Amino acid sequence: MVCLSSFLGSFSRVAFCGSRLSASSASASCRAFLPLVSGLGVPVGVGCASGVDSLVRSAFPSALVFSVSSFLVGGRVARASFALRSSALVSWCASGSGLLVAFPLGACPSGVAVSASFRGCGSGSWGSVALALGLGACVLVVSPVGVGSAWFGALASCFSPVGSAPCGGLLWVAL
């Protein structure tokens, strides 16, 4: 069992990713988790999406926001723009010895593996987690109660359960 406040306080920055659905269990978990980070006084990074990203931006008005519109492809927002945005967020986190906190809504898609380049196979959250691991960043995943290591797919060997989240979910860490 990890002392969550001490663990979170050991990082120089914290980045967040997670479900875009505002009325999801992932967003509810994030809402309960955010007060633990608010007193740390560390830089926070987040994307520009709804759901988890929106909750983080509301809780941390000074957060560094990685916007998809900053990553135009061919002069427009394209599918690749989302991957580029997520890659920039994760790179920022990893370059500062930070922690990526992820609130995925579902299990890791097959095809997602630890890599130094983004490949989410339809899941930005899991793609960000795999990239963070590939870049050597620490990752904390907040999962629903009752999931096991199979929920992590090919990333399962990287994670260990470390306790209960303030939202009632489970905490899994990869250091």
**One-letter-per-residue 3-state SS of 115-129:** CCCCCCCCCHHHHHH
The boundaries of the domain holding residue 131 are 4-174
Mean pLDDT for the chain overall: 94
What is the pTM (predicted TM-score) of this model? 0.96
The average pLDDT across 48-66 equals: 98
Taking only the tens place, the pLDDT of each residue in 76-90 is 999 999 999 999 999
* pLDDT of res. 1: 46
Q: How far apart are CA 92 and CA 64, in angstroms?
A: 10
Confidence of residue 166 (pLDDT cuts 50, 70, 90): confident
Report strand pairing: 160-164 vs 170-174. Answer: antiparallel
Token couple for 116: 């130094």
Tell me the average pLDDT across 153-173: 91
Beta strand extents in the chain (DSSP E only): 14-18, 44-47, 64-66, 99-103, 138-143, 160-164, 170-174
Rg from Cα positions in the chain: 15
Residue 75 scores a pLDDT above 80: yes
**Residue 117 CA to chain centroid, in angstroms?**
16
Supply φ then ψ for residue 110, to 5 degrees.
Answer: -65, 145
Map residue 165 onto helix, strand or coil: coil
Three-class DSSP category at 58: helix
CB 103 within 8 A of CB 22: no
* Domain CATH for 92: 3.40.50.450
CA 147 to chain centre: 18
The number of distinct structural domains making up the chain is: 1
Summarised one tens digit per residue, pLDDT across range 118-152 is 999 999 999 999 999 999 999 999 998 888 899 99
